[in-house]
Every structure is written in structure tokens, then in C-alpha cells.
Amino acid sequence: MGCFCSYVPEEILVAGNILPVRVLGSHEPQNVTEPYLFGMYCPFCRDVLAQGLKGRYDYLDGITLSQSCLHIRQSFIAWREHVEVPFNYYIYMPNKVQTKAATPYLKTEFEKYKAHVEEVVGKELTDDDLDRGIAALNRNRELMHKVYEYRKGDTPMLTGLEAMYMTVSGMWVDKDEHSAEMEKVLEQLPDRQMIRDTGTRLLVVGSENDDTAFIDMVESVGATVVVDDHCTGTRWFWNSVETGDDRINSIADRYIKRPPCPTKDWEERWRFPHILQLCKDFNVEGAIVIQQKFCDPHECDIMPLRKTFDEANIPSLFLEFDVTVPIGQFKVRVEAFLEMFGVDDLF
Amino acid sequence: MQYKSEALKCWDKAKELRDKYYSDYATAHERGGIRWTGGAWSFDAIPYGLGDDVYPLTGEPYAASIAFMKDFSIECLEATEAKGWARDLCSYMRNYWGSMYLNKWAFGGPFPKADFAWQDHICCTHGKWDQHVAEYEKIPYFCIDVSVGPYQDIDEPKLKYVVDQMHEGIEFLEKATGREYDDEKLIQAVNNECRLTSTWAEICLLNKHKPAPLDEKSMYSLYVFGTLSKAKKEFADFYEEIRDEMKDRIERGIAALPEERCRLISDTQPPWAFLKVFRYLEKFGAVSVGSLYTFALVGIWEDKPDGTWGPRTTPAQAGIKIETRDQALRILADWNLSKPEWQHFYDPTIKTRMMKRIYDEWDLDGVMLHLNRGCEGLSCGIMENHYGLTQDDVPVMSFEGNMGDSREFDEARTMDRIDSFMERLDLKKIS
Ligand code: SF4
Ligand code: SF4
């Protein structure tokens, strides 16, 4: 099942023995989306649609959107309209996660989604099935947390690039297989010898980001990405389902309480204290703030977020991403940014 | 054929009411009143339960007024950019924020600070717009999420989600203002809103007549009351006057454009600094009889028994007496969730169907689509609309622009596109 956005309740899919697949882009220039998506929307959502139009996800049996921003919604609709796929489903995920009405409402939306999944697989999902789905996701999340723990020390035991491969592959691979691999990794991590300098410890934060070439470049010029706040990283796996008798309610509550996408982060700001806590826990020295061009949700947060970083004495660098990123130019900017960490104050 | 034409009689009153709205807001505190800021789609009926001296400032029409004042608008946009905000954000929001940062009220004097912010959320920008206003002005903020899906799918849990937030909102209002809430005033406001928005649909319906009594450019000056405060009695009464004047114009054969020979419609907000586009169309005898935006942002509609689109029957017309707070809120939520302009946030094919319907029922010759870089909300799915309408054999002209940032509008290019569209429709300049 192709998942548009990280708010799709994968627990329900796994309960139905369906493989959730996060639909991501390919970072290649393309010219197929113009008739369906106006150029003022983010490059990520256009890249995603391009994959559908080019038939690169032709193995999907269905697609699901869990409502978040307007941009990715259009990729879903255009996919539904112009790419042949047997099933499609739109979950009206609430945007106000801060109201007490949100979980009860989302519970009803997830119940409808469960009925849809039952139709897709042709059988009823029992509590045992749901428990299995919840357990698979929770185990996977817990293991990712354990791996992230190894990034907290003076010498992070894995790079930001490796962490990105880990989280993004978790969005595609069967959860149990992925968890089994992570268990093996966890056995090896304590004895791992890192043959690289850690350099400056960075947080990456912002719009959707699965740009491995970019992270690789950053880590090649004297830095290590020790933690992130991305929907392809911590925002996706950070919290677990707290199981109660009403499984669907518990799942709904998990998605309401997870670290929010900025489009759902109002009236209060829940994101920023969480991000500052990540900085503290992972001993972050600087932040790279990434924004996909035209990404309104993040554009609305970047100014106040950078102010928050300033107030916490965390220097930040802002970079705007397109489908392909100008690695050479960004390298110069990242190097200049990193230079400030090596210089002691004269006064 | 040349029709008779004459100026609108309601014009002066429209101007007077609009000026009064803004001056009432600016001077509210002098009279001990309350002012709030928010959006054109905020549930403005609810704060009216705080008293008769509650004055709203809705961000979009205020920003549209700024956009119309080209030089001041550039000043505001630059002030927002100077703070570091991206240039591609909603241009209404950028105009509004700029006016706030500069502490300059578009109508003279300092920018009047609100007592609280009261928003609703369907577009990604809404919740964030007033989050920033509230932080900047240090005022309390409440926002109601209405993004529960198209009206055809509304069921009890969806309605309840919205209504529950409204109840929370009333608690917020009492806390933010220290006033006791009056349900009777809420009930009156809900009835006013239903009356105003249904009457506006009636006015739009009258534009089916050939020649059209109203053109789109004039409509902008009238529809605005439904965006300033749709629950205000004075405005609901005024819409009934406008409707009567339209009927009278039709009876007397008065046209908005004496040379009407081609009827068009547009979709979203116009480029406010370049309303002359509509005057240019007139040179070809083409009149824009409205837009999905003016019809559907303020008007509330329903399917009539004969299958046509018409004004939604109000609770009062249906003999429903609203008696409790909860009933009022449920009616208000249900009424707004049927707002046509909200439907296509979820699915552009709904907008395509609505535009095709207007094209057929208003007997039009073509459709103009504004690829509006200033509004991520209403441009959402616009390429699908282009595709869908073209598939349905509707002549479509698209033009790129920005409702609130005149720097992003290429006037000469748009006029060229109009020329070729007119040529496609076999129309030549009259003079
Ligand atoms: S949140 Fe931003 S990056 Fe993600 S799909 Fe929406 S606009 Fe694009
Ligand atoms: S719908 Fe358009 S005008 Fe309204 S807040 Fe969203 S972007 Fe701005």
C-alpha cells in the first residue's frame, strides 16, 4: 500500500498483512507532472507524482493519503486520477491535534480505514491482528530508538547517512525483517570502531528529506548528523502506541500525539520544545534547517524556529532544497557554517 | 444589440458600510468594545455571543484592500520579506503581516491591535497565519479545524469534531475576554449568517439572466460583506436590498455591460491590483458574470428539485427554531461545511464539476482560470481543473498571477492571452 505522508496508520495495514510503502521521490529532473500539478507546489510532491506517472510504483495494490499538507494531497489525487491503481483511500486526519476532540474523531476515521483494509484483504481484522500490527510497529520503533541512543555519545556509533538509510528503508521493508536486521546491527554497534572524526554535531530539521547525497556531503566536511526532525526520520517513529482495550483508539492517540508536522502545530507550538529537547539529548552544536522550495508548512515555521535556535545559542544554517540539490554550492555553504564551530571567541 | 445600463443604486451604501466596518474596528476600544482578528471563513457568528460591541477584522479582505493600494502593498510585502519570510507564502498573509509590522493601518493611523485571534483552518496557511499574529501581538488565539472532508461525506463524527471545537471555543472566548456568553445573541447571529449567505446565492443566481445585471468587478465590492462579517444583521439586510435591486434591474432590462455578447466566469481571487483585466474584456463585449470564488466563498447553495443549483434553504425558511447553544453550533457547522469553496480543498474534480455546472446553468461561453501563485489553497488542484474542463469541451483560458503581489503579475502577457482567447471565441474588439 503506497502511503502518502507519515500519518498513515501502518499498524492497521500490517494487521491486514499489507506492506506499507512510503511513496518518495527519485531526485531526478522530470517533465511529466506539469499537466497535473502547478509549479508553485513543493518539488517533493511533484517528484512523488512523477514516480507514479512513470510507473515506478506499478507493484502497488493501493494508495492511501492521511491528510496533512495541501501539496502532497495533490500528488495523491493526481495519482488516483491518472495512474492505474486498484484501491485508493483518503483519511481525513485532523489538523488540530491540540484539541481533545481530535483523538475521538480520528478513531472514527481509522475505523473507516480499517473497514477499507478489510475490503482490500477480504477478511475481517480481529483484535489479535491489530495487536500483531501494533506490536510490529512498536518493536520497530523501539529498536530505532535504541540505535539512535548510539548517536548520543561523544563518538556517535553510526553516521547520519546510515541512520537515514535505516529509517527510510524501514518505510519500505517488511517491519519484522527490518527489525531483525536492526537487532543484528544493535549487537554489533557497541564494538564498532568509528574511523572518522565526529566533527561538529548537527541536527537536520525541516521538510521531507531523504537526500542521502546531501547528508553524505555534510558528513564529509567535518560534521556528523546526530539527530533529525524529519517525517522520514524521528517524526515518523518517535512515539509508540500505548495499547489499551480499544486498539483503534490507541492507534489514533499515537498519531495525534506524535511530534507534529508544522501544518498541524498550532495554536501552541509543540514542535519547538521537542526539537530543543532533541538538541539537548543528542548534544547538538548546530542545526541545518532544510526547506523544500514552496513548502508552506515549513516556511511558516522556519523563521520562529531559527529564532528559537538563536535563543538557545544553537547556530543554524538555512538551505532550500529542490528535486536535485546543488551539492557543490551547498558544500561551500556548509563548510562556511562549520568553520564557525572551530573558532574560539577572542573575547 | 445594445442594452440599457445604469450605475448600481446600492453602491454608495456599500461604500459607506465598508468604511464603517473598518472604522468601527479601529475605534472599538474607545467605546469599550472588543475586537478580534481572524479569517474570512472564521465562524464569526460565535464571538457575537459576547455582545453587540464585538468587531472582527478578517485578514483576507483586509489584505485584498491593501493589495488594491499597489504602493502600500509593496511596502507591506517588503516589510514581511525584511523579517525573513519566504516570498512564496500566501500573499494575503504577507500583506497583513507587513501592515502589522509597519504599524500602519491601510485606512490611516496605526494598526489596531486585536484583543484575540479567532481563526478556522482548512488551508495549511490558516492555522499558522494567526499563530504568528498572536505571538507577535501577544494575544490569545483559538482556531477551529474544519478539514473533515467534502460535504457529501459528512457524518455525525465529523460534525461532532467541529462542534466540539466550537464549544471549546466558547470557553476560550469567555476566558479571553472575561465576558459571559449569551446564547441568544449566538442564535441571532447564526440566523443572520444563514440569511446572508443564502441571499448572496440568490443574487448570484439572478445573474443567469441575459443580460447579466451584475458584472464580476462590481460583485467584488458587494460579495465582500460576506467575507467581512457574514453573521452581521446589517449586512444580511443589505444583501436583501441588493437582491431586490437586481430583480428590479432584470425587470427593466438593465445590463452590467450594454454590449454583452459573451459570458464568462473566473475561478479564484483576481489579481487585485489589476482589476482592469475585466474592463479589457468589455472591449470585446465579454462580461464576467462572476466566479466560483464570489459565488461559492460567500454563497451557500443546494441542489434544487429540478436539478439546478440554488440558494440553500435557511433554517428559518425551513421552519426550524434554534433554541439551544448546541443546536445553533450544529447548524452553523453543517451550514459552513456545505460551503462550495471548501469542497475542492479535498478533491479538484468537485471544483471542475461545479464550474461545469455554472458554465451550463449560467449559459456561459468560457472559463478563465487564475493560476494564482499567491494562494496555495485555492490554486490547489488547478491543473486538474484545467484538464477536466478541457475534457468537458469548455473553452478555458488560464493566466498566471498573484492576487496580492503585483510584482508577480505580467499585465502585457495576460492581455495577450485574453486577445487570443477572444479570438478563439470568435470575438473582435467592439471599439
Ligand atoms: S510538508 Fe512540505 S515537503 Fe512535505 S509534502 Fe508538504 S509541502 Fe512538501
Ligand atoms: S486559502 Fe489562499 S488566501 Fe486563504 S489562507 Fe490559504 S493561501 Fe491564503
Please return the burial class of A52, using the count of CB atoms within 10 Å of its CB with bins 0-12, 13-18 and 19+.
Answer: buried
Contact between B381 and A40 using a beta-carbon 8 Å cutoff: no
How many interchain CB pairs under 8 A, A with B?
134
Residue A346 has pLDDT above 70, yes or no: no
CA pair distance B65, B404, nearest whole angstrom:
9
Pocket test for ligand 1, best of A295, A299, A325 (most atoms within 8 A of CB): A295
CA distance A76 to chain B (A): 10
The DSSP bridge partners found for residue A228 are A204
pLDDT in the model for residue A169: 97
∠ at Cα B293 (A102, B215), nearest 5°? Answer: 160
pLDDT tens column, B271-292: 988 988 889 999 999 999 999 9
pLDDT in the model for residue A322: 87
CA distance A137 to chain B (A): 27
**Closest CA in chain B for residue A33:** B383
Q: Which residues of A touch B158 (CB under 8 A)?
A: 92, 105, 108
Q: Is B154 helix (H, G, I), strand (E, B) or coil?
A: coil
B60 within ligand 2 shell (Cβ under 6 A): yes
pLDDT in the model for residue B431: 65
Atom of ligand 1 nearest to the CA of A41: 7
Residue B2 lies in a domain: no
Atom of ligand 1 nearest to the CA of A298: 2
Closest partner residue to A101 (CB to CB) among B127, B135, B161 is B161
- Checking A305-309 for CB contacts under 8 A at 24+ apart, the result is A305/A205, A305/A271, A305/A272, A305/A275, A306/B84, A308/A272, A308/A275, A308/A276
B125 within ligand 2 shell (Cβ under 6 A): yes
Work out the mean pLDDT of chain B and round it to a whole number.
96
Pocket test for ligand 2, best of B42, B58, B60, B346 (most atoms within 8 A of CB): B60
Residue A345 has pLDDT above 90, yes or no: no
Q: Residue B351 — left, alpha, or beta (φ > 0 → left; ψ -120 to 50 → alpha)?
A: alpha
Residue B5 lies in a domain: no
**Closest CA in chain A for residue B373:** A40
CA pair distance A130, A314, nearest whole angstrom:
42
Tell me what the mean pLDDT of segment B386-413 comes to: 94
Contact between B147 and A92 using a beta-carbon 8 Å cutoff: yes
Residue B227 lies in a domain: yes
Domain extent for B130? 11-424
B331 or A344, which is more confident: B331
Contact between B124 and A69 using a beta-carbon 8 Å cutoff: yes
Q: Which residues of A touch B384 (CB under 8 A)?
A: 36, 74, 77-78, 81
pLDDT tens column, A40-90: 999 999 999 999 999 999 999 999 999 999 999 999 999 999 999 999 999
Q: Is B290 helix (H, G, I), strand (E, B) or coil?
A: strand
CA distances from A69 to A10, A141, A278, B192 (A): 19, 24, 24, 33
What lines the ligand 1 site, CB under 6 Å?
Answer: A 42, 44-45, 69, 71-72, 207-208, 261, 292, 295, 297-298
pLDDT tens column, B18-74: 999 999 999 999 999 999 999 999 999 999 999 999 999 999 999 999 999 999 999
Instruction: Identify the residue whose cell numbers are 530539521.
Output: A205
Tell me what the mean pLDDT of segment A243-249 comes to: 94
Q: Does A238 touch chain B (CB under 8 A)?
A: no
Q: Which ligand lies nearest the alpha carbon of B88?
A: 2
pLDDT tens column, A252-280: 999 999 999 999 999 999 999 999 999 99
* Cβ under 8 Å to B: A residues 11-70: 34-38, 40-41, 67, 69-70
Closest partner residue to B141 (CB to CB) among A73, A267, A294 is A267
> How far apart are the CA of A261 and the centre of ligand 1, in A?
9
pLDDT tens column, A305-328: 999 999 999 999 999 998 888 999
Provide the percentage of residues in chain B whose pLDDT is more than 90: 97
CA pair distance B159, A102, nearest whole angstrom:
12
Closest partner residue to A38 (CB to CB) among B90, B158, B371 is B371
CB-side neighbour CA atoms (13 Å) of A186: 15
Residue B228 lies in a domain: yes
pLDDT in the model for residue B278: 87
Beta carbons of A189 and A147 less than 8 angstroms apart:
yes
**Closest CA in chain B for residue A301:** B128
Residue B255 has pLDDT above 60, yes or no: yes
- Number of domains chain B is built from: 1
Q: pLDDT grade, residue A343 (50/70/90)?
A: low
Atom of ligand 2 nearest to the CA of B93: 8
Residue B208 has pLDDT above 60, yes or no: yes
Q: Which ligand lies nearest the alpha carbon of A44?
A: 1
Which one, of A303, A312, A245, A315, lies nearest residue B93 by Cα?
A303
CA distance A142 to chain B (A): 31
CA pair distance B194, B335, nearest whole angstrom:
7
pLDDT in the model for residue A210: 92
pLDDT tens column, B90-116: 999 999 999 999 999 999 999 999 999
Q: Does A262 touch chain B (CB under 8 A)?
A: yes
Residue A344 has pLDDT above 90, yes or no: no
Please name the residue ranges forming H helices in B225-291.
Answer: 225-228, 233-251, 276-282
Residue B1 has pLDDT above 90, yes or no: no
Please name the residue ranges forming H helices in chain A.
Answer: 10-15, 43-53, 70-82, 102-121, 127-149, 160-170, 175-188, 212-219, 234-237, 247-257, 271-281, 296-311, 327-342
- Best of A96, A256, A271 to substitute, by most chain B Cβ atoms within 10 angstroms, is A96
B92 within ligand 2 shell (Cβ under 6 A): yes
pLDDT tens column, A273-282: 999 999 999 9
Contact between A303 and B371 using a beta-carbon 8 Å cutoff: no
Contact between B145 and A99 using a beta-carbon 8 Å cutoff: yes
Preceding amide of A190 cis, omega within 30: no
In A291-323, which positions are buried (b, 16+ CB within 10 angstroms) versus exposed (e)?
bbbbbbbbbbbbebbbebbeeeebebbbbbbbb
Q: In what order do the strands lie in the sheet with B366-372?
A: B286-291, B262-266, B366-372, B396-401
B378 within ligand 2 shell (Cβ under 6 A): yes
> How far apart are the CA of B408 and the centre of ligand 2, in A?
16
Q: Is B159 helix (H, G, I), strand (E, B) or coil?
A: helix
What are the two backbone dihedrals, phi and then psi, of residue B117, each rounded to the nearest 5 degrees? -110, 140
Q: What is the DSSP letter of A224?
A: E
Domains and CATH numbers, chain A: 2-339 (3.40.50.11900)
pLDDT tens column, B181-204: 999 999 999 999 999 999 999 999
B42 within ligand 2 shell (Cβ under 6 A): no
pLDDT tens column, B344-398: 999 999 999 999 999 999 999 999 999 999 999 999 999 999 999 999 999 999 9
Q: Does A310 touch chain B (CB under 8 A)?
A: no
Contact between A35 and B144 using a beta-carbon 8 Å cutoff: no
CA distance B179 to chain A (A): 22
Q: pLDDT grade, residue A19 (50/70/90)?
A: very high
pLDDT in the model for residue B41: 97
Atom of ligand 1 nearest to the CA of A231: 4
CA distance A166 to chain B (A): 30
Tell me what the mean pLDDT of segment B386-412 comes to: 94
CA distances from B19 to A21, A149, B12, B15, B37 (A): 55, 61, 11, 6, 17
Contact between A303 and B83 using a beta-carbon 8 Å cutoff: yes
Q: Which ligand lies nearest the alpha carbon of B125?
A: 2
Q: Which ligand lies nearest the alpha carbon of B342?
A: 2
Contact between A105 and B347 using a beta-carbon 8 Å cutoff: no
Give this complex's ipTM: 0.95
pLDDT in the model for residue A107: 98
* Cα-Cα-Cα-Cα dihedral sign, residues A280, A283, A287, A292: negative
CA pair distance B225, A79, nearest whole angstrom:
39
Residue A347 has pLDDT above 80, yes or no: no
Residue B170 lies in a domain: yes
